[in-house]
Amino acid sequence: MKISTTVSSIPTSPTLAVTSKAKALKAQGKNVIGFGAGEPDFDTPEHIKQAAIRALENGFTKYTPVGGMVELKDAIVYRTSEDYGIEITPENVVVSCGAKHSLFNLLLTILSPGDEVICPSPYWVSYPPIIRIAGAVPVIIDTTENNMRLEAAQLKESITKRTRAIIINSPCNPTGTTYTRKELEKIAEVCLENDLMIISDDIYHKIVYSGSEFSSIATLSRELTERTFIIQGVSKTYAMTGWRIGYCIGNAEVISAMTRLQSQSTSNPTSFAQAASIEALKGPQDTVEDMRKTFEKRKAIMVSMLSDIPGFELIEPQGTFYCFPSVKAHLDRFKTTSGLADFLLEKALVAVVPGEGFGSPDHIRLSFALHDENIVDGLNRIKQALS
């Protein structure tokens, strides 16, 4: 059977591929330690699960409005006001089947063939493929020489007449870096001068560590609020990756068009998952801080141990639950980070994600969303295998 040109050009997500390999080995009885997963290892908090159970028991299993329940949009308005200090209305919100779906809908709505989107590298693996699916062109800007942050001068040099938007991900997957308010102000100035739309992927906004703080470009001015699209969801903050609820906040006209697009694809997000998300956003928030503190302790363990592995160089993450060390010193031996990842999986039964998929072929990504003892065991295995 012939596969379309568009789909044929789409690579498999490297994070999902690594997770699949690790699960296959585990199914064979192998003691695999997986640093690949991009999800919290905690269970969804009990009060959130109970909200879904109540919804099911009350027969809440039918269609909802395409763009999400009014009650959930109201909860998003409330949470946005609390977390960002900006005022929006339900007309500025569309709820989708995960933040990736929100981003997919947004890019298909605002991009036309030949448009360009600025995509700082390292980037989340799905940005370039989704941009290409929309018929647009990802313009990659390498930030590895600038402590993994885009500088305003780099942005200015990369803008052409076709540039339509920029994606900013802070805290960043895979690097864990965050942008300061001053850095965002300089980027924002360039965006305003060149009439760019801004896509702010804030999915890790609650997982930020001591000495850093989350800033969103959407909060810098009213003008920036109006041209920024915030991608958010419940997956990382509330350990709800499998519930598949994400949302986009932005210009009401674009949000309406995104809803129309969604009506012809998935229709509404799952009804009882929406009910659970209302509880997540408006209910007790203490579990969010508990998880953040646990991640911070794990980060300290991983940073210390990675720094002790010869040939690994690391910029300490300020947020997320990832470390992204350079392994360039080992590439004479393994040629690519994919080769290194294959070696570690076969030799040490440790799964890591190669950097090629993140636009950074000298790095690997390791998640510390796993128990302390597994972090220690896994990193000891890597050190021994490479010694």
pLDDT-wise least confident of 12-26, 94-108, 228-242: 12-26
Residue 315: the pLDDT is 95
Task: Show me where the domains of the chain are located.
Answer: 5-44+286-386, 47-282
Query: In whole angstroms, how far apart are CA 227 and each of 28, 105, 167, 254?
Result: 51, 17, 12, 11
Read off the pLDDT band of 71 (50, 70, 90). Answer: very high
Tokens of 254: 């674009």
Residue that is written with structure tokens 């929100």 in the block: 102
Read off the pLDDT band of 354 (50, 70, 90). Answer: very high
The domain 5-44+286-386 having CATH identifier 3.90.1570.10: the answer here is no
Taking residues 152-169, what's their average pLDDT? 98
Residue 15: the pLDDT is 73
pLDDT digits (tens, 9 = 90+) for 6-19: 888 888 777 777 77
pLDDT-wise least confident of 37-41, 259-263, 335-339, 371-375: 37-41
Q: Which residues are paired to 165 by β-bridges?
A: 117, 197
Taking residues 118-137, what's their average pLDDT? 97
pLDDT digits (tens, 9 = 90+) for 182-226: 999 999 999 999 999 999 999 999 999 999 999 999 999 999 999
Mean pLDDT, the chain, as a whole number? 96
Taking residues 265-287, what's their average pLDDT? 98
Going by DSSP bridges, is the β-strand pair 353-354/163-169 parallel, antiparallel, or unpaired? unpaired
Q: What percent of the chain has pLDDT over 70?
A: 100
Residue 13: the pLDDT is 77
Question: Per-residue DSSP letters for 260-273?
Answer: HHHHTTT-SPPHHH
Work out the widest C-alpha separation in the chain, in whole angstroms.
61
Taking residues 39-44, what's their average pLDDT? 96
CATH for the stretch 47-282: 3.40.640.10
- Phi, psi at residue 3, to the nearest 5°? -100, 145
Residue 67: the pLDDT is 98
Q: What percent of the chain has pLDDT over 90?
A: 92
Q: CA-CA distance, 45 to 53, in Å (whole number)?
A: 13
**Do the beta carbons of residue 305 and residue 376 sit within 8 Å?**
yes
Asked whether residue 91 carries a pLDDT value surpassing 90, the answer given is yes
Residue 199: the pLDDT is 98
Taking residues 76-92, what's their average pLDDT? 97
Residue 12: the pLDDT is 79
Taking residues 120-146, what's their average pLDDT? 97
Read off the pLDDT band of 365 (50, 70, 90). Answer: very high
Q: Positive or negative CA dihedral for 180, 183, 187, 188?
A: positive
pTM for the full predicted model: 0.96
Q: CA-CA distance, 47 to 53, in Å (whole number)?
A: 10
Residue 24: the pLDDT is 84
Residue 293: the pLDDT is 98
pLDDT-wise least confident of 20-29, 57-66, 187-196, 346-355: 20-29
